Amino acid sequence: MSCIGVSIVQLFARTEHLAQEIQYFHSSEKLRSLIIVSGYYNKEKNFKREILVSAESLKLLESLIFFFDFNASRLPLKSLDLPENVIASFIDPKNANQIIRRLNQIEPLENLRHVKRVQKKILEEGLMVCRPCIYVLFWNSCFCYIVQLLTLEIYVTGQIHLSVILCLASEGDNQLDSIPPHLQELISFYQLSPFITKVCKYAATSKEEWQEQCKFWPTSYHPRTYTDSCCFRKPELSSSHPVSDIVAPNDPLHLNSSFDELKQPHMGVACLYPWLWAEQQSLAQGLSNWHPLRHAAIVAIESSAARDRLLFPSMGNNEEKYLELDHEKSSCTSSPAKRLRTIPENVDDNEKVNAVSQSSEQLSERPYLCTGYDIFLVWEPCAMCAMALVHQRIRRIFYAFPNPNAGALGSVHRLQGEKSLNHHYAVFRVLLPQQVLHKPDVEVAEIK
């Protein structure tokens, strides 16, 4: 079996340990990078080519992807999710209970809650597995090769194999030496033989991603469930397509509702070059009001805070004073500069649902900041905006275009994956249909 004519996704689906194999190949051959080129016909009989890039360091990986992006035309690129090294060991199923209980006490996997501690494998009797040959193009230092990988494995018994994660591996060459002493005791007591393996660093955000992850080591996956389904009416036209790791595919978007917004020639140039952006603003608004930090998300938060104060005015003198102040403020920021909406429609819907509680308008019943709100952004927000949206407790973020220079939701940083933050929102990238992008009154091209 050869990988020619197979997409990388299929390749991964067929071979259980392909990712591990690649990693192993990396280390045994002392390769700096490994690139798999794949070509196949999709269902529409179009020829698709894909490149999978895996490299010893993130830096190298990035520069390779950059290289292919610019030199090797428009092939879809995939990079192997850089996994976390852990120390694991096979264990006797008889002792499994005690060992796992003890491990959870002395070495809890705080930052890897999504990773299952135990991997269980039932090997079928007498099964002979011939691993596929992969055409691999790789280079080490200065040579290029094309080789074939072929591995043969024969499983003989119907045993249950249990392996368990002992602890995180530290950086460096002698990773196995870094096992803390209290674990050493456990290892010698049960006569375990630790080895290094990989687990996925981040919890999966989609079922597909989860299935991919489980090929490394089983993880758990909890699809997001939102109780208020009123946000999106049943989509007649599902115009969003899932994008690798940031879109939950079972969450289709009805884009018609945001068409009106898109038609307006106010596409956000959130933070490509902040000072320049301020200059563009000033042309539109008169020189007195430019502000280098007034990005779309910040303006939206300000407006929503002003709305909150309007809807739920409190009796305190202080508060009233601030309310007036912000009337002035919002009047100058809300109109042309406001280039996105903080889902006023959805808020209304929510309010209808909560009509009973909202109608009384008790101070304690009002939503805390933007809890339960969604925001639609044209561009992926920068670190400042992304963090501001964390502070303001936004529930979901939808954006159309990634920002490779400053984007903080996947491009440069990945704020939604920072464990330490006290609030986490769901992030979706919306793929806009072609006809929207090519409408003459949408000034996408200009911005790009």
Partner 1 sequence: MASLGEECSTETLAFMELAIQQAKLALDVLEVPVGLALIPKLPLPASCVIVEDGKPIASGRNRTTETRNATRHAEMEAIDFLLEQWQKNGLSMSEVAEKFSSCSLYVTCEPCIMCASALSILGIKEVYYGCANDKFGGCGSILSLNSEVTPRKGFKCTGGVMASEAILLLRSFYEQGNPNEMVWKQPLRL
User: What residue ranges bind partner 1 (CB under 8 A)?
Assistant: 271-275, 278-279, 282, 288-293, 298, 301-302, 305, 308-309, 314-316, 318-319, 322, 326, 363-364, 368-369, 382-388, 390-393, 405-406, 408, 413, 415, 418, 420-422
Q: Which is nearer to partner 1, 217 or 277 (CB)?
A: 277
Q: Which is nearer to partner 1, 47 or 275 (CB)?
A: 275
At closest approach, how far in Å is the CB of 405 from partner 1?
A: 5
Q: Which is nearer to partner 1, 39 or 292 (CB)?
A: 292
At closest approach, how far in Å is the CB of 173 from partner 1?
A: 26
Q: Which is nearer to partner 1, 37 or 369 (CB)?
A: 369
Distance separating alpha carbons of residues 338 and 299, to the nearest angstrom: 6
Q: Which is nearer to partner 1, 262 or 298 (CB)?
A: 298
At closest approach, how far in Å is the CB of 305 from partner 1?
A: 4
At closest approach, how far in Å is the CB of 342 from partner 1?
A: 12
Q: Which is nearer to partner 1, 7 or 281 (CB)?
A: 281
At closest approach, how far in Å is the CB of 199 from partner 1?
A: 22
At closest approach, how far in Å is the CB of 288 from partner 1?
A: 6
How many angstroms separate the first and last alpha carbons of the chain? 44
Q: Which is nearer to partner 1, 218 or 410 (CB)?
A: 410
Distance separating alpha carbons of residues 343 and 350, to the nearest angstrom: 11
278-296 as b/e, with b when 16 or more CB fall inside 10 Å? eeebeeebeeeebbeebbb
At closest approach, how far in Å is the CB of 397 from partner 1?
A: 15
How many CB atoms neighbour CB 361 within 10 A?
Answer: 11
Q: Which is nearer to partner 1, 209 or 302 (CB)?
A: 302
At closest approach, how far in Å is the CB of 273 from partner 1?
A: 7
Q: Which is nearer to partner 1, 194 or 274 (CB)?
A: 274
Q: Which is nearer to partner 1, 121 or 391 (CB)?
A: 391
At closest approach, how far in Å is the CB of 291 from partner 1?
A: 6
SS3 letters across the chain: CECCCCCHHHHHHHCCCHHHHHHHHHHHCCCCEEEEEEEEECCCCCEEEEEEEEECCHHHHHHHHHHHHHHCCCCCEEECCCCEEEEEEEECCCCHHHHHHHHHHHCCCHHHCCECCEEEEECCCCCEEECCEEEEEEEECCEEEEEEECCEEECCCCCEEEEEEEEECCCCCCHHHHCCHHHHHHHHHHCCCEEEEEECCCCCCCHHHHHHHCCCCCECCCCCCCCCHHHCCCCCCECCCCCCCCCCCCCCCECHHHHHHHHCCCCCCCCCCHHHHHHHHHHHHCHHHCCCCCCHHHHHHHHHHHHHHHHCCCCCHHHHHHHHHHHHHHHHHCCCCCCCCCCHHHHHHHHHHCHHHHHHCCHHHCCCCCCCCEEEEEECCEHHHHHHHHHCCCCEEEEEECCCCCECECCCCEHHHCCCCCCCCEEEECCCCHHHHCCCCCCHHHHC
